[in-house]
Structure 1
């Protein structure tokens, strides 16, 4: 996500430079104004301080692009500087996973993970053997695991894993979200 923002900022900065160059070029070199001297002949003359409609259009468009790019870069810089330095240096206390269909990320806190480990003795008797196998795989993966990896790490078929995950979701123990072509399972 940060890479996309950096690439976007660089693209906006490049657009800003091009717009500023075009604006300066247009202001320094206006188009010649054609002044008709007689009925059959015309003379091209540069009149100082006068611009053709095309010049005015170029100036307006480049000024708008220049202002929009400058505003975007300023707001991006301001958002970056408002983050506290402690946020950059702190060790992460939770496992995060980017989910493509939603902005942001799914966060599994260490507290939830520890609570689910403590509750395991009370949860396990209520689950079937297949549900226990799947739930243990998710717990062992720090609370987040792709559904295809659950199938690969257990002896259960795709259909069984899918049905058992439906049941675990019904018991409000896990949740599934789309990620690309597959799904990601995480603790609730």
Structure 2
């Protein structure tokens, strides 16, 4: 199911790009000009119609395909609601309190490993990791920004590095993230 959905998304994206290119070519290349060379004078004139019937047909088909593929990508690929006849179990509400708090043993082990890990971390990563460690291993990303002299962007990049080193994990909570020690 997921593979088919990805293929349809890819096909819709290809159609979108192709029709955008076709529309661009049609609008940017005018119809041919008529050039008359007489015995003593030369005149140039555009035909009475700027777009020929062929141009109008190509533009119409490309516009419909462009609109259809764009609509599919923006709206059609959204998850469908379950049919009314099949009951679904409600998803449990996610809250920062649902995550298991790190145990005292885990926190103590993290504190003992701190010096070893600190040597292989950048300065901003050390600051962020130490701030989370001091908060008993769980802290929102916005609180990290407030508790450190680092900017939002620096905190985000530092968390990216810490996640890559498998030291922390970010979980989405509402409009923000909760950061947990691993």
TM-score in terms of structure 2 length: 0.46
Greater per-residue strand proportion? 1
Instruction: Give the TM-score of the pair, scaled to structure 1.
Output: 0.45
